Amino acid sequence: MLKEIEVNERNYYKRIDKFIRNSYPQLKLGGIFKLIRKGFVKVNGKKIKNNDHEIFKGDIVSVYIPENTESLVRPEVQKFFPRYFDFDIIYEDDSLIVINKPPKISMHPGSGEQMVTVIEGLMFYADGKFDPHLVHRLDKLTSGVCVVSKTKEVSRELSDIIINRDADKYYFALVCGKPKNSGMLESVVDGKTARLEYKVRNVYNLPEGIFSLVDIHLFTGRKHQIRVQFSQINCPVAGDDTYGDRLLNREMRKKYGLRRFFLHAYRLKFNYKNTPYDFNAKLSDDLESVIQEISDYEEK
């Protein structure tokens, strides 16, 4: 993998080894020396040989990082590494970037994580121009609006907005059964009070049973909150093996292609520095396909 970074005011270091270490904090110092020694580092297209090579603002530093990085990367960040993946950018400015997170992508590397993650993908996209920081999290199998800041300061400020319930979060979920047409759910989730309101958008009378597409306004952000609260009223989210019916989910997977729980964060609203932000993410292709498959059974 070849990465090129322009030396500027924000990332400038006089020595090339210090510049690379600042730009690639996951690399061991010995790994940086090894890259330089093998000729994998160039400045303005020319290979350099010395760790203390002097660089200047405006220089273009090219670093080739081999696929096998075990000997180069610090053990504690072995899986925290820029990696490419294709994502849909909803919005971007100098402070933040908003994407429509795909399903089956984790937010952050974890124990045993092998696949690319959101933060790694954005590290690759940033290409050294900014440092992505998570503002909030979505479950690995949940798709939708995901906000990531470009600085630690913005991350702290936006996280406070969301934690203090000053943000409006909206989700679509397909649930088993037919709850009341609208309502408020308030209960204890993960040892804390959890609250949401919902409205039924569509009802589907499938051969396997009744299912409802619900529009959810989330007021709190407890772990697995939507999945837990709808299971508490005997309307678990379709496809959710943890809180729902595995046999029914297996049928939904075989017949309608529902290969994860049906949950999508479609909208996020908040005010930041006197500016209103309102982001919307279209339903992911896999869930849209499920809706098309069951549309013939929609209750009129």
How is 270-292 classified by DSSP, letter by letter?
Answer: EEETTEEEEEE-PPPHHHHHHHH
* 220 & 269 share domain: yes
Considering the domain boundaries, does residue 154 fall inside one?
A: yes
What's the average model confidence in pLDDT over 129-145? 91
Give tens-digit pLDDT for 20-72.
887 777 777 788 888 999 899 999 999 998 998 999 999 999 998 776 655 66
Flag whether pLDDT at 79 surpasses 90: no
Distance (Å, whole) CA 121 – CA 99: 11
Q: Nearest CA to 17 among 117, 43, 214?
A: 43
* 184 & 292 share domain: yes
Write down the pLDDT at residue 70: 54
* 145 & 181 share domain: no
Write down the pLDDT at residue 81: 75
Look at 10-19, 35-44, 185-194 and tell me which has the smallest mean pLDDT.
10-19
Distance (Å, whole) CA 1 – CA 83: 9
**Which of the listed ranges 106-120, 158-172, 286-300 does the model predict with the highest average pLDDT?**
286-300
Q: What is the number of structural domains in the chain?
A: 3
Distance (Å, whole) CA 98 – CA 80: 20
Considering the domain boundaries, does residue 255 fall inside one?
A: yes
What's the average model confidence in pLDDT over 4-20? 85
φ/ψ (deg, to 5) at 172: -105, 140
* 117 & 61 share domain: no
- Where residue 104 sits, what CATH number does that domain have? 3.30.2350.10
240: annotated active-site residue: no
Question: Of 163, 184, 199, at which residue does a domain stop?
Answer: 163
Flag whether pLDDT at 210 surpasses 70: yes
Query: What are 147's strand-pairing partners?
Result: 98
Considering the domain boundaries, does residue 82 fall inside one?
A: no
Q: Nearest CA to 237 among 293, 290, 165?
A: 290
The answer to whether residues 117 and 108 touch, using CB atoms and an 8 Å cutoff, is yes
Write down the pLDDT at residue 20: 87
Distance (Å, whole) CA 298 – CA 33: 63
Write down the pLDDT at residue 112: 47
Full-model pTM: 0.73
DSSP 165: T
Flag whether pLDDT at 115 surpasses 70: no
* 61 & 112 share domain: no
Flag whether pLDDT at 114 surpasses 90: no
Write down the pLDDT at residue 107: 84
The mean pLDDT value of the chain amounts to 89
Distance (Å, whole) CA 218 – CA 256: 27
Q: How many CB atoms lie within 10 A of CB 8?
A: 12
Residues 6+ apart with CB under 8 A from 124: 82, 83, 84, 85
Considering the domain boundaries, does residue 282 fall inside one?
A: yes
Write down the pLDDT at residue 71: 60
How is 118-162 classified by DSSP, letter by letter?
Answer: HHHHHHHHHTTS---EESS---TT-EEEEEEESSHHHHHHHHHHH
Considering the domain boundaries, does residue 83 fall inside one?
A: no
Q: Among the options 139, 166, 190, 215, which is catalytic? A: 139
Residues 6+ apart with CB under 8 A from 155: 133, 134, 135, 149
* 242 & 173 share domain: yes
167: helix, coil or strand?
Answer: strand
* 57 & 138 share domain: no
pLDDT band at residue 281 using 50, 70 and 90 as cut-offs: very high
* 36 & 156 share domain: no
Q: Which amino acid is at 59?
A: D
Count of positions (residues) in the chain = 300
Which secondary structure element, helix H or strand E, spans residue 226, and what is its range?
Answer: helix 225-232
In this prediction, what percent of the chain has a pLDDT beyond 70? Answer: 92
Give tens-digit pLDDT for 220-272.
888 899 999 999 999 999 999 999 999 999 999 999 999 999 999 999 999 99
What range does the domain containing 25 cover?
2-77
Cβ density class 178-209: b for 16+ within 10 Å, e for less: bbeeeeebeeebeeeebbbebebebbbebebe
What's the average model confidence in pLDDT over 71-93? 73
Q: Which amino acid is at 167?
A: A
Q: Nearest CA to 64 among 129, 22, 116, 4?
A: 4
Write down the pLDDT at residue 69: 58
